């Protein structure tokens, strides 16, 4: 399985996100890698209505294909997922959000199989979330404590950050 290949796909998704000064343009891919790898869905920041994140959009789109009701789709989506789901996201899933939104870490942790185990078994990301908006991201630790492998794949950092911050005011 080529992590860098799918991370690149996620980065291509991020390029579709509208540039804004107040958030990062992130892209995500949900993959079922076993035997013949299949992409379950993709998403990017602000793709779904509202202030939506890339990972959140993936879950919303996938819930749509299973006719699951909102708003807490993560409570119902887990048992519908294949057993080997890997989440590729250009930026480490957020662990803090303003205005009472669920974080992507919380959403990932809520995705459980019928037996209670984590439905997403691995998260692959290209960069940690920059501390500009939310401070230090302790999400990785929370995910790992739930048995989810978190992997940073190096090589695309510069490109990812360039795309992520395209709508931000340039310093200096
Ligand atoms: Zn998020």
pLDDT, one tens digit for every residue, the chain (172 residues): 599 999 999 999 999 999 999 889 999 999 999 878 899 999 999 999 999 999 999 999 999 998 887 767 888 999 999 988 999 999 999 988 877 788 999 999 999 998 999 999 999 999 987 665 555 668 888 999 999 999 999 999 999 999 999 999 876 5
C-alpha to C-alpha distance for 118 and 85, rounded to whole angstroms: 10
- 8-state DSSP, 88: E
- The rounded Å distance from CA 111 to ligand 1 centre is 15
- The rounded Å distance from CA 54 to ligand 1 centre is 7
- The residue assigned the tokens 């920059």 is 130
- The rounded Å distance from CA 172 to ligand 1 centre is 28
pTM: 0.92
- The rounded Å distance from CA 110 to ligand 1 centre is 14
Assess contact for 95 and 103: CB atoms under 8 A. Answer: yes
């Amino acid at each position: 399985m080529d992590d860098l290949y799918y991370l690149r796909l996620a980065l291509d998704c991020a390029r579709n996100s509208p540039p804004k000064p107040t958030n990062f343009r992130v892209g995500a891919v949900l993959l079922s890698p076993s035997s013949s790898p299949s992409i379950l869905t993709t998403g990017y920041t602000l793709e779904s209505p509202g202030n939506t994140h890339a990972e959140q959009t993936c879950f919303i789109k996938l819930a749509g294909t299973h006719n699951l009701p909102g708003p807490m789709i993560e409570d119902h989506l887990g048992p519908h997922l294949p057993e080997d789901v890997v989440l590729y996201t250009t930026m480490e899933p957020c662990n803090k959000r303003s205005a009472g939104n669920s974080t992507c870490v919380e959403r990932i942790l809520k995705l459980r199989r019928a037996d209670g185990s984590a439905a997403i078994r691995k998260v692959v990301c290209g960069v940690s979330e920059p501390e500009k908006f939310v401070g230090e991201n302790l999400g990785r630790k929370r995910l790992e404590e739930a048995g989810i492998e978190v992997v940073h794949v190096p090589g695309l950092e510069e490109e990812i950050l360039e795309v992520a911050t395209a709508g931000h005011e340039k310093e200096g």
